């Protein structure tokens, strides 16, 4: 015994043992933290599959379930796993009586009543999954309309952003001119600019154009570049060697052709990661759609879901079902592009 | 003699013109969607404007409304003495949230990033899990948390009561004293976004520094404090600035959590009346565009000066790699 513990002690004293212990602790902390991260997701999914009765009576359970029942004298009564003198039985609870006691019977012999403390017995449940919540939720709101609007805003906006930001980033990375550096600093300074400081005049401007309550205020500005994405793309363009540019120029290519045939094909990883970031931003955005879109036929999913919640807030199961549908595309995108994603962050975060 | 140089100038001019041509989309966007609206909102901030009637010049009246009564309020300790008590309430709510959420967020995400930078098994899975919440931030997640935190039918309070043994768990978003902590908990669930930036920073720390320290006999803790931490201060600083700016623009979570309650936006008892919520109310509920523009400019100046403050103070505690090299 003594020898063994000494051996264990020696392992932990040794360098590799130290490291083993350290890694064990790290894994333990990471695992417990990730439970905290994942439980809300599980709760969202399970709530979306429950029926309203369960949400009211049994909201904390992570399992969409119903109490198991057996018919006793024609009435369905809840089934419990009870322990009597160390023996385990499945008995039905037929009546609650004072002092936390209940009358339990064996379903096969309903005449013999056992009085037991209810909270010392384990109630039995069965799975009760309501897939129909999803079609019901989709039909309870103009879901496809919201989805269509969201997709238009997201993808047309993404196209505009990639188009304009590529041009601008190319201008800032490949040409020498006195004012370009100054203008680049101006561009960078707008990253920190709170959007509220220009929001009200923009609203009035779009209203005068007749664009309020259309998707245009969310889409058109994307065609005029934004500081954040220009910065990311420019940083990437700077890493692309100039030799190919020069070769193409000698062959008579003009600057636009150099951008199209030399720079952009090499910048694909950066374009994709900027595109993904834009997708996530546009898909989740709530602030601007809330301000610019006023009637249901123009809402995006984010605004539509919030409004649905405001009107039908008791229908938790339906709201959670739409919420699940809304988080699925970003999660899928994330899993399929994880590598590009983390590279994009690495490069956007600090490498600048 | 003059011929080649003039040709050179024309080439340079051509290059410059091409460069300017490519940035035209941004220049138009900057004029139309940024600088123009900024100047317009500066103008509106000196007017009374309800969108329907033309703006009416009122001079400093909107700024007076926001700032008047400070002296009386401070002297009597009575918030009702403020010209606009809700403006000060909004500032207080925002700063209170920032003072809780930012240190916790910075600390926890840095700690997680250090853990996720260790060579343990399955590290990619852990990284994915921790990053997941930050890609779905928004309405769906807030609706989920509103339900988790619900004191009657939520899942958190039964847990606190039955598992941890807290007899009277707080009412969270329904309780004026607990609404902000509830929002802080929600925000901590999304620490992944700043965590991933730390992680990128940690991976950028040159390994030769660690090797050199090992040769000098530094232990893991010393290596962390003398290499990792100083090398990470620029990233810490970056996250601090971004976090602060984000707090002053905090909107979606509060809107979704409170707009459908009976007491309305910023409820209960204005305890979640964030600055940006108050601005939105003035602009798009009361259509007081003049005062809302004033609030926007005050916000702009606050963000600007806080950023400048951190930039100036950063010399004292932020290390950049270049400096480190310069000293060595």
Cβ contact, residue pair B245, A44, below 8 Å: no
Taking CA atoms, B184 is separated from A149, A250, B272, B279, in Å, by 32, 59, 11, 21
Sequence-separated (6 or more) residues with CB below 8 Å from residue A94: A72, A77, A102, A103, A104, A105, A110, A113
Chain A residues with CB under 8 Å of B22 CB are: 167-168, 170-172, 175, 255, 259
pLDDT tens column, A106-138: 888 888 888 888 888 888 999 999 999 999 999
Give the ipTM of the model, two decimals please: 0.88
In the block, residue with structure tokens 């260790």: B118
**Both structure tokens of A217:** 């205020």
Distance CA B98, CA B204 (A): 29
Chain B interface, mutation test: which of A21, A200, A206, most B Cβ atoms within 10 Å? A200
Chain B residues in contact with A319 by the CB 8 A cut-off are: 143
Find out whether B82 and B88 touch, Cβ atoms under 8 Å. Answer: yes
* pLDDT, position A138: 95
Q: How far apart are CA A349 and CA B128, in angstroms?
A: 18
Closest partner CB to A334 (pick from B135, B295, B300)? B135
Residues 57-86 on A with a CB inside 8 Å of B are 59-60
Whether residue B152 is predicted with pLDDT greater than 70 in this model: the reply is yes
Check whether B2 has a pLDDT greater than 70. Answer: no
pLDDT given for residue A3 in this prediction: 53
Q: What residues of A are in contact with residue B46 (Cβ under 8 Å)?
A: none
Q: What is the pLDDT of residue B181?
A: 96
More confident residue, B25 or B78: B25
The alpha carbon of A323 is separated from its chain's Cα centroid by a whole number of angstroms, namely 9
Whether B97 contacts chain A with CB within 8 A: no
Looking at the predicted structure, is the pLDDT value of residue B5 above 60? no
Q: Does residue A228 register a pLDDT over 80?
A: yes
Residue B198 token pair = 């730390």
pLDDT tens column, A148-164: 999 999 999 999 999 99
CA gap A36, A39 in Å, rounded:
6
Please return the burial class of A330, using the count of CB atoms within 10 Å of its CB with bins 0-12, 13-18 and 19+. buried
**pLDDT band (50, 70, 90) for residue B328:** very low
- Could you tell me the residue ranges of all domains in chain A? 2-48, 65-127, 134-349
pLDDT digits (tens, 9 = 90+) for B48-100: 999 899 999 999 999 999 998 888 888 888 888 888 999 999 999 999 999 99
Range A134-349: architecture per CATH: Orthogonal Bundle (1.10)
pLDDT digits (tens, 9 = 90+) for A30-77: 999 999 999 999 999 999 999 988 888 887 788 899 888 888 888 888
Domains recognised in chain B with CATH numbers: 64-327 (1.10.3720.10)
- For residue A11, the model assigns a pLDDT of 57
Q: Read off the pLDDT of each residue in B122-126 and give the average, rounded to a whole number.
A: 87
Rounded to whole angstroms, how far apart are CA atoms A129 and A132?
9
- Please check whether residue A91 is in contact with residue A104, taking contact to mean a CB–CB distance below 8 angstroms: yes
Chain B contacts in chain A segment 222-251 (CB below 8 A): 223-226, 230
pLDDT at A343: 61
The three-state DSSP-derived secondary structure of chain B is: CHHHHHHHHHHHHHHHHHHHHHCHHHHHHHHHHHHHHHHHHHHHCCEECCCCCCCEECCCHHHHHHHCCHHHHHHHCCHHHCCCHHHHHHHHHHHHHHHHHHHHHHHHHHHHHHHHCCCCCCHHHHHHHHHHHHHCCCHHHHHHHHHHHCCCCCCHHHHHHHHHCCCCCCCHHHCCCCHHHHHHHHHHHCCHHHHHHHHHHHHCCCHHHHHHHHHCCCCHHHHHHHHHHHHHHHHHHHHHHHHHHHHHCCCHHHHHHHCCCCCCCCCCCCCCCCHHHHHHHHHHHCCCHHHHHHHHHHHHHHHHHHHHHHHHHHHHHCCCHHHHHHHC
Q: Name the nearest CA neighbour of A308 among B283, B87, B260.
A: B260
Asked if the Cβ–Cβ distance from B279 to A291 is below 8 Å, we say no
By the 8 A CB rule, do A136 and A125 touch?
no
Q: Can you name the CATH fold of A65-127?
A: SH3 type barrels. (2.30.30)
- pLDDT at residue B139 tops 70: yes
* pLDDT at res. B46: 97
Task: Using an 8 Å CB-CB cutoff, list chain B residues near A55.
Answer: 153
Tally the residues of chain A: 352
Pick from B284, B290, B294: which is nearest to B251 by CA?
Answer: B284
Residue B211, CA distances (Å) to B168, B325, B327 in order: 53, 16, 19
Q: B267: exposed, middle or buried (C-beta count within 10 Å: 0-12, 13-18, 19+)?
A: buried
Residue B134 contacts A where some CB pair is shorter than 8 Å: no
In chain B, the residue whose alpha carbon lies closest to the alpha carbon of A319 is B143
Claim: this prediction has a pTM higher than 0.95: no
A332 inside 8 A of chain B by CB: no
Range in A170-174, A293-297, B89-93, B315-319 the model is least confident about: B315-319
A positions 37-56 inside 8 Å of B (CB): 37-38, 40-41, 43-44, 47, 55-56
Look at B25 and A175 and tell me if their CB atoms are within 8 Å.
no
Give me the mean pLDDT over the B229-257 stretch.
86
**pLDDT tens digits, residue range B279-313?**
999 999 999 999 999 999 999 998 888 788 777 77
């Amino acid at each position: 015994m003594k020898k063994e513990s000494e051996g264990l002690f020696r392992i932990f004293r040794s360098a590799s043992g130290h490291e083993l212990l350290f890694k064990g602790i790290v894994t333990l902390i990471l695992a417990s933290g990730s439970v905290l991260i994942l439980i809300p997701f599980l709760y969202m999914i399970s709530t979306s599959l429950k029926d309203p009765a369960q949400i009211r009576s049994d909201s904390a359970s992570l399992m969409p379930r119903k109490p198991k029942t057996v018919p006793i004298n024609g009435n369905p009564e809840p089934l419990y796993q009870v322990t009597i003198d160390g023996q385990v039985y499945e008995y039905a609870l037929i009546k609650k009586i004072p002092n936390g006691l209940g009358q339990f019977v064996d379903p096969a012999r309903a005449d013999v009543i056992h009085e037991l403390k209810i909270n010392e017995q384990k109630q039995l449940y069965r799975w009760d999954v309501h897939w129909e919540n999803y079609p019901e939720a989709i039909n309870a709101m103009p879901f496809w309309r919201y989805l269509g609007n969201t997709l238009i805003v997201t993808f047309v906006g993404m196209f505009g952003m990639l188009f304009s930001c590529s041009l601008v980033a190319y201008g800032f990375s490949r040409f020498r001119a006195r004012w370009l550096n100054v203008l680049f600093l101006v561009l960078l300074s707008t990253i920190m600019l709170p959007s509220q400081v220009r929001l009200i005049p923009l609203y009035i401007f779009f209203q005068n154009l007749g664009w309020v309550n259309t998707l245009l205020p969310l889409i058109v500005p994307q065609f005029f570049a934004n500081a954040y994405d220009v910065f990311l793309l420019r940083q990437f363009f700077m890493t692309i060697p100039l030799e190919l540019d020069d070769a193409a120029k000698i062959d008579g290519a003009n600057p636009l052709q150099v951008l199209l045939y030399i720079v952009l094909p090499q910048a694909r990883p950066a374009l994709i990661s900027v595109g993904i970031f834009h997708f996530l931003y546009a898909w989740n955005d709530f602030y601007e759609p809330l301000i610019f879109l006023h009637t249901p036929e123009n809402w995006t999913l984010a605004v539509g879901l919030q409004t649905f919640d405001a009107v039908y807030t008791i229908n938790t199961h339906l709201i959670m079902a739409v919420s699940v549908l809304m988080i699925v595309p970003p999660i899928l995108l994330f899993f399929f592009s994880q590598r590009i994603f983390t590279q994009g962050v690495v490069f956007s975060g600090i490498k600048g | 003699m003059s011929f080649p140089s003039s040709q050179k100038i024309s080439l340079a001019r051509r290059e410059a013109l091409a460069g300017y041509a490519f940035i035209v989309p941004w220049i138009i966007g900057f004029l139309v969607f940024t600088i123009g609206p900024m100047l317009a909102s500066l103008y509106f901030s000196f007017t009374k404007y309800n969108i329907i009637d033309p703006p009416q010049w009122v001079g400093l009246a909107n700024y007076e409304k926001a700032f008047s009564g400070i002296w009386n309020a401070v002297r009597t300790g009575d918030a009702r003495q403020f010209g606009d008590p809700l403006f000060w309430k909004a500032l207080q709510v925002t700063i209170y949230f920032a003072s809780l959420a930012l240190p916790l967020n910075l600390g926890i995400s840095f700690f997680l990033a250090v853990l996720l930078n260790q060579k343990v098994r399955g590290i990619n899975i852990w990284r994915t899990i921790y990053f997941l919440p930050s890609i779905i931030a928004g309405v769906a997640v807030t609706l989920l948390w509103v339900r988790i935190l619900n004191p009657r039918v939520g899942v958190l309070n039964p847990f606190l009561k039955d598992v941890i043994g807290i007899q009277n768990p707080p009412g969270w978003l329904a309780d004026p004293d607990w609404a902000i902590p509830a929002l802080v908990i929600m925000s901590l669930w999304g620490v992944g976004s700043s965590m991933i930036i730390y992680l990128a920073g940690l991976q950028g720390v040159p390994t030769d520094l660690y090797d050199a320290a090992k040769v000098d006999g530094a232990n893991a803790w010393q290596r962390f404090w003398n290499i990792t931490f100083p090398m990470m201060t620029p990233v810490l600083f970056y996250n601090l600035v971004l976090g602060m700016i984000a707090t002053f623009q905090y909107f979606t979570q509060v809107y979704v959590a409170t707009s459908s309650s009976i007491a309305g936006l910023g409820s209960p008892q204005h305890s979640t009346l964030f600055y940006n919520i108050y601005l939105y109310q003035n602009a798009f509920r009361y259509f007081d565009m003049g005062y809302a523009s004033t609030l926007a400019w005050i916000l702009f100046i606050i963000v600007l000066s806080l950023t400048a403050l951190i930039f100036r103070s950063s010399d004292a505690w932020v290390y950049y790699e270049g400096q480190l090299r310069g000293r060595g």
